[in-house]
Amino acid sequence: MHSTNNLVGSSAPACSRDGGVVYGATVPLSFVPPIHGKPLSLEITAGPSVAWEVAVADSGPVVPLPALAAATRPAGAHVIVAMTYGVGTSSVETLYPPPSGPYYVQYACTGAGTVDISTSDGSRNWVSQDCANGAVRTQMGAKPTSSGPINLTFEVAPRTLWEAVIYELPSPKS
């Protein structure tokens, strides 16, 4: 990665092929000359099959978000909302039709404060632990009582990064 004006430059080791390891590079401000509010364009060079993401922060240390890969969910989990990303307070895709049983919100966040997750039907409101370390967490929601659409909202500090996957597990066979 380098900026088009060559003020910022960094390289990362080879990427993992198993999808479970995320490598990152942090370029501390002390190594970057003052930019003085001017636009900064970054160019990223990677192979065609490499998935990558960039997080830019203007204060504090940035902890890369871990991958919420299939290996981080229980066997048999059925994803009902694929990976969703956000910065600050945002709504996640609508759950419609609503899950037929309990559902799980798996998320990671990095930044200041906590993340509050709420549902539009008022049935759930979760408050997480601190977002500072980028840990993966999972919250369980009970089977919805409403047959209508359910919106989930992530309420976080303005510069906090988050990602989420929503899944359900198959019913036990009787």
Tens of pLDDT, residues 20-69? 445 555 555 444 556 666 676 777 777 787 777 766 655 555 566 777 88
What is the predicted pLDDT for the residue at 11? Answer: 58
46 contacts: CB under 8 Å, gap ≥ 6? 15, 52
What is the predicted pLDDT for the residue at 166? Answer: 92
Strand partners, 131: none
What is the predicted pLDDT for the residue at 160? Answer: 81
Q: What is the number of other CB atoms lying within 10 angstroms of the CB of residue 147?
A: 9
What is the token pair recorded at 126? 């979760």
How far is 65 from 81, CA to CA, in rounded Å? 18
Decide: helix, strand or coil at residue 153: strand
pLDDT under 70 in the chain at which residues? 1-38, 40, 54-64, 123-124, 132-133, 172-174
What is the predicted pLDDT for the residue at 168? Answer: 92
CATH entry 2.60.120 includes domain 70-168: yes
One-letter amino acid of 169: L
Provide the residue ranges of all domains of the chain, joining segments of one domain with +: 1-54, 70-168
What is the predicted pLDDT for the residue at 174? Answer: 56
